[in-house]
Structure 1
Amino acid sequence: MADSRYRSVVKAASYRVFATGMVFTIAFLYTGEFGSAAKIGVSAAVGKTALYYVWERLWSNIEWGRRPA
């Protein structure tokens, strides 16, 4: 059974919030500047969210490793 598009979007968004916090923290530790860290975090979040969504949709079409319900 494939995931719905809505489920993929929710999974991508929730993961991205978590991961963006980590990117922001690391960027802040490197730069010491809140603004720069925020720009890096937001840029990474937008790009990676789109990539993750595409990745999820591709994998939702692959039956390998799934067990029937």
Structure 2
Amino acid sequence: MTRASRAHQRALAKAISWRIFATLTTMTIVYLFTGKIDLSIGVGIVEVISKMLLYYLHELIWEKTSWGRKRHPLSEFQIKKELTPEDKEKINQKLKELGYL
């Protein structure tokens, strides 16, 4: 298993454990205010579903904006011809200098 794969699995596990913890917190607060376990469970179910949906929509909106994203250092190059081996070597060198390769 690669390091990136483990990082993704860890991030997913953390997201799931956080969602469980947050929902249980909401259910506990509702129970403390109302004393009704059925209401607490109902609110917990609605809360977990609605917050996952809202988070997904939130991610879609953020995916459409470039604000805060790093631009690739070669994104400014306008290539108007076929790259020669020398051009490719220069690009590789620049990427190595910047730590991308």
TM-score bracket, shorter-length normalisation: 0.5 to 0.7
Unaligned runs of 5+ in 2: 1-7, 73-101
1:50 is matched with which residue: 50, 53, 56? 53
Q: Percent identity between the aligned chains?
A: 33
Higher relative helix content: 1
* CA distance in 1 between partners of 2:21 and 2:70 (Å): 29
Structure 1 outlier segments of 4+, above 4 Å: none
Question: Unpaired segments of 5 or more residues in structure 1?
Answer: 1-6
| Counterpart residue number, 1:66 | 69
How many aligned positions are there? 60
Tell me the equivalent position of 2:27: 24
RMSD over equivalenced CA pairs, Å: 2.4
Structure showing greater relative contact order (alpha-carbon pairs closer than 8 Å, 6 or more residues apart): 1
TM-score by length of 1: 0.66
Q: TM-score w.r.t. structure 2 length? A: 0.48
- For residue 22 of structure 2, give the secondary structure of its aligned residue in structure 1: helix
